[in-house]
Chains A and B, each alone.
Chain A
Amino acid sequence: MTTEPAALASEPETATAPVADTTDSTVTLQVWRGDPDGGAFAEYSLPANEGEVVLDVVHRLQAGPAPDLACRWNCKAGKCGSCSAEINGRPRLMCMTRVDELPPGPITVAPMRTFPIIRDLVTDVSFNFAMAKLVPAFSPPPPPAEGYRMQQIDVERGQEFRKCIECFMCQDVCHVIRDHEENKPAYAGPRFFIRIAELEMHPLDTNDRRDLVRQQMGLGMCNITKCCTEVCPEHIKITDNAIIPMKERVVDADFDPVGWLGRKILRRSKTSPTETAAISAYPGPSPSAPAG
C-alpha cells in the first residue's frame, strides 16, 4: 500500500479554486482524506454552480486542486449506488444530493464508517459481496409448456426489494455492525434481509432459507430501529415489508406444531440441500482482500 504524502496529515488544508470567485455564492466542502493509517478533513472552496449536486463539486475538485481525491461513482443518476458517502453526517448518494438543498455553511463529506477505508471516500465493501455468496440461489420448478404465469400483484412484493441499487447505505447505518466489527461474521445486514425476503416471497421459489437467515445471518440481532429504511434512496420499506415479515416467518417455523408435522410428513425439507451446503461452507467474510 502506497502511503499518502504529508499534505494529507492531521491539519486540514485550504485550497482555493483556480478561478477567482466573482459571485457571492461559494460552496465549501470539508472532505475526509486519508488511508487505512489515518486521515483528516481537508477544506476546499469553489464558486457555486446552479443546480449542482455534491458529486459535481467533488469532480471539480478532482479537475482542480485535488487531482488524486478518491471517490467511487458510475451513473451519476441515482441508479447504480456507487457514490454513497456520509454527507453532513448522514448516508446519502453524492449524485442525488443537491448543494442548494443543504443548509448554508461548509458541507462535510466522509466515507461510510462501517467499512474499512481504502482511500479518501472509497471504502472496502467486500463484506457485502461475501454475504451475497451465502444466499442460496432462486430455485423455480421446471417451467410448464406455456411458460410461467404470475400475477402483477404477486410480483410487486419482490419487485420492491429488487429496486435495491446496492449502495450499502443501509448496511452503513445499521448499528449492529456500524461500530461492531465483531458482529459482521454472524450478521448479514438489511441489504441481505431484503434479498432473502425477495426470494422467500417469489411466487415460484422452492428453497427455504429460514434457518440460514436466523442461524448464520443474524436476523434476530436486528431490533427494528428502522434506520435502514430511513436512508434507503429507493424508499424500500426494509423494516416493515421485509425484516418484520421475515422475523414472523422464522418464529412461525419454530413454534407452529401443525407446520412442523406438515414438514415431517411432506417431502419438502425445512433446510434445502443448497442451504445446508451454504451454511457448512461459509468461511466468514474477509473484508481486507480485494475481491477476486
Chain B
Amino acid sequence: MPEYETHRYDVIVIGAGGAGLRAAIEARARGLRTALVCKSLLGKAHTVMAEGGVAAAMGNVYSEDNWQVHFRDTMRGGKYLNNWRMAQLHAQEAPDRVYELESWGALFDRTKDGRILQRDFGGHRYARLAHVGDRTGLELIRTLQQRAVHMDIDVFMECKVLRLLTDGDGAVSGAIGYWRPTGDMVVFESKATVLATGSIGRSYTYTSNSWESTGDGHAMAMWAGADVIEMECVQFHPTGMVWPLSVRGLLVTEGVRGDGGALKNSEDRRFMFDYIPEMFRAETADTEEEADAWYEDHINYRRTPDLLPRDEVARAINSEVKAGRGSPHGGVYLDIASRRSPEYIRRRLPSMYHQFMELAGVDITSEPMEVGPTCHYMMGGVRVDADTEASTVPGLFAAGEVAGGMHGANRLGGNSLSDLLVFGRRAGIGASDYAEGRSGEPSVSPAEIEEVVADALSPFGRDGGENPYDIHQDLQSCMQALVGIIRTGSELEQALEKLEELKERTGKVSVSGGRAYNPGWNLATDLPSMLTVSTAIAQGALHRKESRGGHTRDDYPGPDPELGKVNFVQRQNAQRGYAAPVQITPEPLPQMPAELQALLEEGH
C-alpha cells in the first residue's frame, strides 16, 4: 500500500486564482470545512497577470451603460455561441462583485467625483473596465487572498492534484495529489469539489500563460466522466511581445489600445481599417479622424477598429505579417508613443513601460512596440449548469477559465476577471448546497488511489526512457504549428496522429533525482493533462467545419449558421485517462428567451 496523508473537508477548491479564492470564500462563509489546494504559493496564480480590468456595467463613466448592453456585447463578441444564461448572470452580477471587492479593501482608480473609474476595451460599447493602472489582476487576487486568510481557510500550497476520486456511484468524492516540496502523496475526501484550475496555454510554444496552465482541471473533469464543450475555441490575444525570443508571447495589455494606442504595419498604415467585418461595420469608425474623436466622445462617434474583438484583431495581424507588411521580428507595430504624452503613458501603463524597458530595451513613451498574437485564453471547458456551476458529474463544480460556455467562441477583454468573481461565488454556493445535502461521509477507493500513485511514480522506476522536457517541447511545436490561430482539416488530422505518438512516449517517461521539488518529475505529471486537453482541442477543431470567433478554419473560412446552433460536447465513456479515446457529439445550444433575443437584435 502506498503511503499518503488524508484530509477530510466539506468543500475542496482546486486552484487559487480569482475563481478558486472566490469560491472558497463563499463556502467558508457558510461555515463549511473548506480547503484551497494550489500548485504554487498563494497569490501567485495566473490571475495576477491580468492587466486591463474587470468589466462591469456600473455606468460610472457613461451612465447609458447597463447589464443589457453588457450582455449584448458579450454575446456578439462570443459570436452567439455563449451559454445565454451565463452571459446574463455575468452581466447582471458583475457590478455587485466589484463593489464587494472594494468593501474588502481593493483600491480601484477613481473618477473625478470619487467613484470607480472605468476604461475602454475591445468589444465593449462603453468604458466599462474597473481597473488599477495596468495591474488589476494583482489587486483582485491580493484582495481575495487577504480576505481568505482572515476567514481561516486551510490552504494547501504547492500541492499538485493528479486525479479526482469517485465513490461507487461515480460521484466525485475527493482528489489525490502530492506536495511539491516533498513529493509526498495527499488524499482529500470531500463532499463537494470545485475545479478552478484556469487555462491550457502551456500546450503552445508562444503563450501568455504561466507554467501552471496545463489544463489539469479540464483533463481531470474528463477523466471523471464530465462533459467539456467548445474545446476548439482558444483565444489568441492579438498583442503579445515578439522580441526578444525569450519573452515571445508575453502579454501586452489591450489597455494600450484602450488608452489610445494604434496598430500600424511596416508601411505606417493603420491597417485595422481594412479589416472591419460586416457584423461590426455599423458600430466601427471608418476614418482615422472619427476613430480618434471616439476616445473623447462615445455617443457621437463610432469606436476605433483597433478595439474590435480579439479574434478579429489577431487574424488581421496574422494577415498583415503573412502579406509581408510586418515588423522586423515578425509582428506589427503598436504605437502609443506618438499619440499620448510620456507622463500619461507612464501613469496609465506602468507595468507595460517597465516590461518593455527592462526586457526589450524599448521605451514605449518614445518608440512603438512590436507585437503579435499569443495563446492567451481557453473559452472551452467543463460544461456547467449556469446557475450553480455543477458539472455533469455529481459532486463536481467548475468556475472561471476551466468552465465552458460563458464566453462562447471568443471572450471580450475584461470579461474574465468578472467571470471569476461572478461564477466563483456561484460555484461556492452551488458546492456548499450540494455538500450540505449530501448524506454520509464521502468514500474513496483505496484501489483507485493505489493506481494513481503507481502511475505518478512510474517515471522514477524507468531508466533511459523519454525525457519529459522533450515531449513537452514536441507537444508545443505540434499545437503551435498544426492547431494554432489558423487551422485546416489535413493539419488537424496530422496533429491528432502526432498526439497519439506523444501519448505513447509519455508512457515511457523516466526522470532522475528524488521526489522533493523535482521539476522534471512535476512536468512528467503535467503531461497527461496537456495531452488530453490538446486532443480535445484538435478534435473539436476538426469537427467544427466553419470559422467562428477564436476558431478559424482556412478550409471553411466563413461561419455556418447551422453550426452556430450547436456545442461540440466531448467526453470519455467507459475508458478514462490520457491514453483513452474522447467521444465528440454536436448538441443544440440552450434556447434563449425571446426578450433576451430581442436585446441582441437592437441596433447601435
Q: Which residues of A contact B109 (CB under 8 A)?
A: 152, 155
Instruction: Knowing A62-B469, A68-B514, A96-B359, say if A80 contacts B210 (CB, 8 Å).
Output: yes
Closest to A99 in B: B246
CB < 8 Å neighbour of A63 from B133, B135, B210, B473: B473
In the complex, A120 has a CB within 8 A of chain B: yes
In the complex, B78 has a CB within 8 A of chain A: no
Size bracket, chain B contacts: 35 or more
**Bound: A137/B511 CA distance, A:** 45
Instruction: Knowing A53-B359, A68-B518, A292-B156, say if A74 contacts B142 (CB, 8 Å).
Output: no
**Bound: A118/B519 CA distance, A:** 13
Stretch in contact with the other chain, from B99-107, B264-272, B563-571: B99-107
**Bound: A165/B138 CA distance, A:** 8
Contact string, B114-144, partner A, CB cutoff 8 A, digits 1/0? Answer: 1101000000000000001101011100100
**Bound: A273/B92 CA distance, A:** 37
**Inter-subunit contact A75/B516 (CB<8 Å):** no
- Which residues between 86 and 109 of chain B lie within 8 Å of chain A, taking CB atoms? 99, 102-105, 107-109
In the complex, B531 has a CB within 8 A of chain A: no
Q: Which residues of A contact B35 (CB under 8 A)?
A: 292
Q: Which residues of B contact A163 (CB under 8 A)?
A: 135, 138
**Inter-subunit contact A133/B149 (CB<8 Å):** yes
**Bound: A62/B243 CA distance, A:** 23
In the complex, A35 has a CB within 8 A of chain B: yes
Q: Which residues of A contact B108 (CB under 8 A)?
A: 155
Closest to B134 in A: A79
**Inter-subunit contact B519/A70 (CB<8 Å):** yes
CB distance from B63 to the nearest CB of A (A): 13
Instruction: Knowing A75-B48, A290-B179, say if A82 contacts B40 (CB, 8 Å).
Output: yes
**Inter-subunit contact B99/A147 (CB<8 Å):** yes
Stretch in contact with the other chain, from B350-358, B388-396, B399-407: B350-358
Contact string, B240-279, partner A, CB cutoff 8 A, digits 1/0? Answer: 0001111100110000000000000000000000000000
CB < 8 Å neighbour of A75 from B210, B517, B520: B210
CB < 8 Å neighbour of A290 from B157, B514, B520: B157
In the complex, A89 has a CB within 8 A of chain B: no
Instruction: Knowing A96-B358, A138-B104, say if A75 contacts B46 (CB, 8 Å).
Output: yes
Contact string, A66-104, partner B, CB cutoff 8 A, digits 1/0? Answer: 011111111111111110000000000000101000000
CB distance from A218 to the nearest CB of B (A): 20
In the complex, B343 has a CB within 8 A of chain A: no
**Bound: A69/B360 CA distance, A:** 27
**Bound: A48/B509 CA distance, A:** 29
CB distance from A38 to the nearest CB of B (A): 15
Instruction: Knowing A51-B247, A82-B41, A292-B159, say if A122 contacts B181 (CB, 8 Å).
Output: yes
**Bound: A189/B88 CA distance, A:** 46
* A-B contacts besides A50-B244, A51-B245, A148-B102, 17 pairs, CB < 8 Å: A4-B513, A52-B244, A67-B512, A68-B511, A68-B512, A68-B513, A74-B40, A75-B48, A77-B359, A80-B43, A133-B149, A135-B146, A150-B107, A162-B132, A163-B135, A165-B48, A290-B182
Residues of B within 8 A of A (CB): 35, 40-46, 48-49, 99, 102-105, 107-110, 113-115, 117, 132-133, 135, 137-139, 142, 146-147, 149-150, 154-159, 179, 181-183, 210-212, 243-247, 250-251, 351, 354-355, 358-360, 467-470, 473, 511-521
Residues of A within 8 A of B (CB): 1-5, 35, 49-53, 56, 62-63, 67-82, 96, 98, 118-120, 122, 124-125, 129, 132-133, 135, 137-138, 140, 143, 147-152, 155, 158-159, 162-166, 199, 202, 290-292
